[in-house]
Structure formats: structure tokens, C-alpha cells
Structure 1
Amino acid sequence: MILSAVAGLGLATASVAQQGSTFSLGETVGAPIGDGLVLRSVDEERLFRDSEFGQRVQGEIDAASRALEDENARLLAELTAREEELTEARATLSPEEFRAQAEAFDQRAEMVRQDQAQKLARFSQFEESERRRFFSQTGAILQEVLQDEGAQILIAARAVIIGLPEMDMTDAAIDAIDAALGDGGAAPFPLEAP
């Protein structure tokens, strides 16, 4: 892998391919020319997802999702039963009494809907908070792995157009992050609102 700086522009271009391959411009690429910088890449999504930290986060979200589904089913059953009670009682209630009870029911149903929607939104907020925390703690670890790999530049795998498999250091980075951070411990932003 060779990275050459474009003079005066501060831009960089990567030239990587199998020996003897050519780009559409006809430039043959292969072995590095001169003293080149070594690049490595990481798959940021896999880095988080496959780390102990990311697996803990996903496990907490999965457990909370199942609990929310159970709670939603229970609340739906309660609201359905109350709605049936109101329907049956309508014949025995005055229009004013029925209207008051129906409005109270509607308010309760809306409050339940909003509460459950907030709980669901909190899952995304929790995951985003934990992702930020994860990536804020991995910079020094990634630098160390980059040095161990004998490389100078780390790029996101999704930015690589052509690259050799050995360019990817995601597995080594996950191992180093797991050793340093483990599952990340308790989240400062709790999954469930206090």
C-alpha cells in the first residue's frame, strides 16, 4: 500500500491493487514506489458491534425491548378491557357521564402512548450515547494498534475503494479494545429513565 501526498494541496491518494493491475487511466499499480506511508483500515460498525462493549450495549437494548413489548401487551389488554367496559356502560350512563369517562379514557390512552414512545426513543438515545462513549475511549487504543501494525494512517473501511485484506486491522483493534475496556461498565446515560 502506498500513500503519496499531492504537493501543495494537502491531499492524499491511495494506490493499492494486485500486482500488474491497472486503473482505467492505464497506471500500473502494485509494489510501493519509494518510501510510502502504510495505511490500515477499520470497519467502525463492526468495531463497535463485535466488541464486548458493543455486545453489552446490544444485550441491554434487547432485554429492555423485550420488557417494553411485554409492558405494551399488558397495557393494551388493560386499555382494551376498559374500552369494552365503557362500551357496555354507555347504555346505563347519561351522555354527560359517558362523555366524561370517555374523555378520561382517551387521556389515559394518549398518556400511555406518549410514555411508551418516550421509552422506545430512549433506546436510540442510549445506543448513541454509548457509541460516543466507546469511540471517545478508543482513540489511544487504535493508535497503539496502528503502531503495532507498522502503519501511520488509519481510515474507515467504507472509504477504501481498492485494498488488500491485510489492510484491515478491525480484528486486532477489537482484541485490543476488549482487553482495555471490556464491556465498558455501567453506562452514564441509563437505558431507562429514572
Structure 2
Amino acid sequence: MRRAFIPLVMMLAGVTPGLAQQAPVAEPQTNTPAPARGGVISPVLTIDSERLFHDSAFGQRVTREIEVESEQLATENREIEAALEAEERELTEKRSQMKPAQFRLLADAFDEKVQRTRAEQAAKNRALSEALDLERERFLSAAAPVLEQLMRNSDAAVILERRRVFVSSSVIEVTDEAIALLDEAIGTGLTDAD
């Protein structure tokens, strides 16, 4: 089985046993159009979709906006935490001066306030994650026609996710070209009206 596999691999790589040491043969001229921007002509292309988003102007804008909002939420959380800790200390100090039933009412109200505040802050955090997901979807929708054009320019039938491909030539990796085309076509994703 292994002996049959080696010639098959060599044949797929364009190497024929006995001819491996010969000088390369010039390829016949074809009427295939030259790829745009110095790209590659291949039926299969690969792309790193994470890098496509994060390195594009659109993705960088979204990342900056989400980071700013996340920092604001973290600051708000720290302020709320400090206020709740102060309120808890004050409540603890009053405990010795109160009847147990009175203290229990105040303690239960405080616990309820803490739980409500946690839920509100968690909802704000989820909203940030959802906003990021929506922006990614918006990006992919805007990117689809650009990537389709890149496929046509490269005579490709498919673009595969780079991280899902076991082995490939770096020649068919077109993330940088796709980022340049996307930056040109959609920029940051904001319109003049925004």
C-alpha cells in the first residue's frame, strides 16, 4: 500500500519517478487572465477569517468601539462594587443597634439589590457580546461580494477557512489581498450618514 502511495503523491506534486532531476519544462501559454493585484490563479483559495475581520479597517473600528465600551463597563462595575461594599459595611455596623427582625429586612433588601445589580451588569456585558456578533455578521454580509469577486479574479471555485485545512501552499492564502480589497470596498463600515 505504501509503495502505491508514494508515486501517487509524487504524481500529484508534478514529479514523475526518473524525471525528478530533469530541468523543468516550460508550461504552455494559456489565455487565462492575469490575477488582479498580483494574486494567484487557483481553483482553491484559503483565508484566515479571524485575521480578515481583525485586520480590516471595519474590524479594527469595531474592536476599538467594543474595547471602549468594555472599559467603561469595567469602570462602572468597580464603582458599583465599591458602593455596595461600603453599604454592606454600614449595614454590618448598624446590626448591633437593631432588632434581628429589622436587620433581616434590611439585609434581605440589600441582598436583593446586589442580585438585581449583578443581573443588570451581566445583561450589559451580554449586550456588548451581541453587538460584536452583529457587527461580525454585518461584516461578513458586506465581505461576501468582495470575496466572490476575489474568487472570480483567481478563477477559484471555493475559499476555505485556513484553520480548517490540514496542509496547503501559502500561495493560495489570500487573506492579505482580501483585507486590502475589503478596506477599499467597505472601509470601516460606517457611512457618511453615521
The two structures have a TM-score, normalised by structure 2, of 0.76
State the one-letter code of the partner of 2:5. L
When you count helix as a share of all residues, which structure comes out higher?
A: 2
- Over the aligned positions, Cα root-mean-square deviation in angstroms equals 2.6
Match of 1:58 in 2: 63
When structure 1 is superposed on structure 2, of 35-44 and 57-66 the one drifting more is 35-44
Distance change (3 Å), C-alpha of 1:171 and 1:98: same
Alignment partner of 2:160: what SS? Answer: strand
CA shift, 1:24, in A, is 8.5
State the one-letter code of the partner of 1:163. S
Matched, 1:30 2:13: yes
Contact 1:53 1:178 in 2 (8 A): yes
Match of 2:146 in 1: 141
Alignment partner of 1:25: what SS? Answer: helix
CA distance in structure 2 between the aligned counterparts of 1:158 and 1:145, rounded to whole angstroms: 19
Residue number among 53, 59, 65 corresponding to 1:48 in the alignment: 53
Question: Aligned pairs, how many?
Answer: 164
State the one-letter code of the partner of 1:25. F
CA distance in structure 2 between the aligned counterparts of 1:46 and 1:25, rounded to whole angstroms: 36
Contact 2:45 2:174 in 1 (8 A): yes
CA shift, 1:91, in A, is 1.4
Contact 2:45 2:158 in 1 (8 A): yes
Runs of 4 or more above 4 Å deviation: none
CA distance in structure 2 between the aligned counterparts of 1:161 and 1:86, rounded to whole angstroms: 61
CA shift, 1:147, in A, is 2.3
Gaps of 5+ in 1: 1-21, 187-194
Q: Which of 1 and 2 has greater Rg?
A: 2
CA distance in structure 2 between the aligned counterparts of 1:177 and 1:74, rounded to whole angstroms: 40
CA shift, 1:152, in A, is 3.3
Q: Write out per-residue CA displacement over residues 108-138 of structure 1, whole angstroms, 9 at most, x where no aligned residue.
A: 1111111111111122211111111111111
Contact 1:37 1:153 in 2 (8 A): no
Gaps of 5+ in 2: 16-29, 31-40
